[in-house]
Amino acid sequence: MSLLKPTTASRFHIDFAWWQKNDRDWRVFLRSLLCAEHQITLADVAAEAHIDWIDPKTAEVHQVDAIRHALMNHCALQPDFVDEHTTIVEAAFRLLLVNGNKPMTAVEFSKKLRRPADTILRTLGGPRVYRGLRPVDESRAEEPAEPVAVPLP
């Protein structure tokens, strides 16, 4: 990761590898974000369960994480997933889920959340990492992977 200080134009994403390294309960947290429907349907599904997902563009079948797939493709799209009472960190995390973890800048978050970009930048761009929200390392050629579309080894 770059040692440069992020700006309002810096792009942020959810670093799922950060979660795996720093928080043993990351799947519990993700599960807590499921809508009521998926809380019920995935209640008996093992924490690391995978499902077959068919890429709509290529028709290829990939194994994907069941919880992340439900979150990103259904629960995050519900109208009450982010509202005016949601904290900046929580809202940014949820917006990235809605976007399929496509990186967003503080300015883009600001437009969606109706909060100042500078406040969002101070929250997300500081030395402490919240919920795995990190700046994209722009020195790397590739984009951060969208977890729902990445086949497992």
For 10-44, write each residue's pLDDT tens digit: 999 998 888 878 866 677 888 889 999 999 998 88
Amino acid at 125: G
Average pLDDT over residues 75-80: 87
**76: Cα separation from own chain's centroid:** 10
Alpha helices of the chain — where are they, by DSSP H? Answer: 16-22, 26-32, 36-41, 66-73, 88-98, 106-113, 117-124
User: Which tokens in the block code for residue 83?
Assistant: 């509202």
Contact of 53 with 60, CB cutoff 8 Å: no
Q: Quick one: 102 exposed, middle or buried, by C-beta within 10 A (0-12, 13-18, 19+)? A: middle
Domain spans in the chain, listed from the N-terminal domain onward: 11-44+52-143
Residue 55 or 113, more confident: 113
Q: What is the pLDDT of residues 89-139, one digit of tens each?
A: 999 999 998 787 899 999 999 999 999 999 999 999 988 999 899 999 877
| Residue 107, CA distances (Å) to 38, 54, 93 in order | 32, 33, 15
β partners of residue 12 = 104, 135
pLDDT of residue 140: 64
Contact of 83 with 114, CB cutoff 8 Å: no
User: Which tokens in the block code for residue 84?
Assistant: 């005016």
Contact of 89 with 130, CB cutoff 8 Å: yes
Q: Quick one: 146 exposed, middle or buried, by C-beta within 10 A (0-12, 13-18, 19+)? A: middle
